[in-house]
Amino acid sequence: MSLRNTYWLALALACYALSAAGFATERAGLRGRLSQSASVLLGGGAALQTGDLLMRGLQAGNVPVTNFGQALIFLAWLTAIAGLVVIVRWRMPVIGVYVAPIVMVVLAVGAATIQTERLAMPQSLRSAWLPVHVTFALLGYALFVLAAIVSLVYLMYERRLKAKRPLLPTDERTPSLEKLDRISYRLLGWGFLMLSLAILTGAIWADAIWGHFWSWDPAETWTLLIWFLYAGLLESRLTVGWRGRRAATLTIAVFTVLVGSFVGLSLMAGGKHGGNFG
């Protein structure tokens, strides 16, 4: 990996760190120049990462997601962008205090574990489906990250309201419970769609290369389980009308399973998804 590449990433990381600090000071009720530019810094980090991804993508001739570290970097980028969309589109800067540090940590871990040599991708596996499959999967994860963050904000805000404790100075700008609940639901819906598309494109790709759609690879099994959990979550909302606290708690619970499987699988590093494209 060239020095220039790490230079871009380091700058992006610095932007995210400053953004996280800005959101944190804002939440502490200290409004200053840093807190006012927190969202801009988050965007700056994402822009720097875009440059980095473009460079590495051009080098590799593909979406640079052939190992775990790269996947994390890509995930950080998608989460930052999706987070910005939510912050701007739905005017929810309150989630920034979680989005920025999470993006920062994911990027830092990704940058630390990235393998210096590009994994040679067997010519036989190169396919237009790979970037599509991986992008859907990681975009789905990014949306689930945001859904969990919004749910967390919901739960903490709800607790303050129910306890009738004095609200935080920043609660003046916290969206209503109804809105937080609705946004979390939307993010879940979009995340679920992305996850479904990831499974579908993965199956098509597998069929093209190995001749079968499904091989019960650990990642496939776990992903299917998570898909069912999210499906159940959405279903309970549609039919029984579970929402509010219960929905938020379940969103966070399922997300925990998702994180566990993601980390666990990458540590095991077996199967096709671990980089052994056997």
**What residues line the site for another protein (CB under 8 A)?**
161-162, 164, 166, 171-172, 174-179, 182, 240-246
The gap from C-alpha 235 to its chain's centroid, in whole angstroms, comes to: 22
- Of 136 and 157, which CB lies nearer to another protein in the complex structure? 157
- Of 27 and 182, which CB lies nearer to another protein in the complex structure? 182
Calpha distance 54→61 (Å, rounded): 10
- Of 123 and 176, which CB lies nearer to another protein in the complex structure? 176
> Which amino acid, residue 268?
M
Calpha distance 277→132 (Å, rounded): 17
* Token output for 266: 């990458």
Rounded alpha-carbon distances, angstroms, from residue 38 to 107, 148, 248: 18, 21, 26
| Contact by Cβ (8 Å): 80, 45 | yes
- Of 140 and 175, which CB lies nearer to another protein in the complex structure? 175
The dihedral sign for the CA sequence 246, 241, 161, 248 = positive
Least spacing, CB of residue 158 vs another protein, in Å: 9
- Of 101 and 244, which CB lies nearer to another protein in the complex structure? 244
Tokens 């630390």 sit at which residue?
112
Least spacing, CB of residue 172 vs another protein, in Å: 7
The dihedral sign for the CA sequence 185, 226, 258, 48 = negative
- Of 244 and 274, which CB lies nearer to another protein in the complex structure? 244
Least spacing, CB of residue 8 vs another protein, in Å: 40
Least spacing, CB of residue 258 vs another protein, in Å: 24
Calpha distance 264→262 (Å, rounded): 6
Least spacing, CB of residue 183 vs another protein, in Å: 10
Least spacing, CB of residue 96 vs another protein, in Å: 20
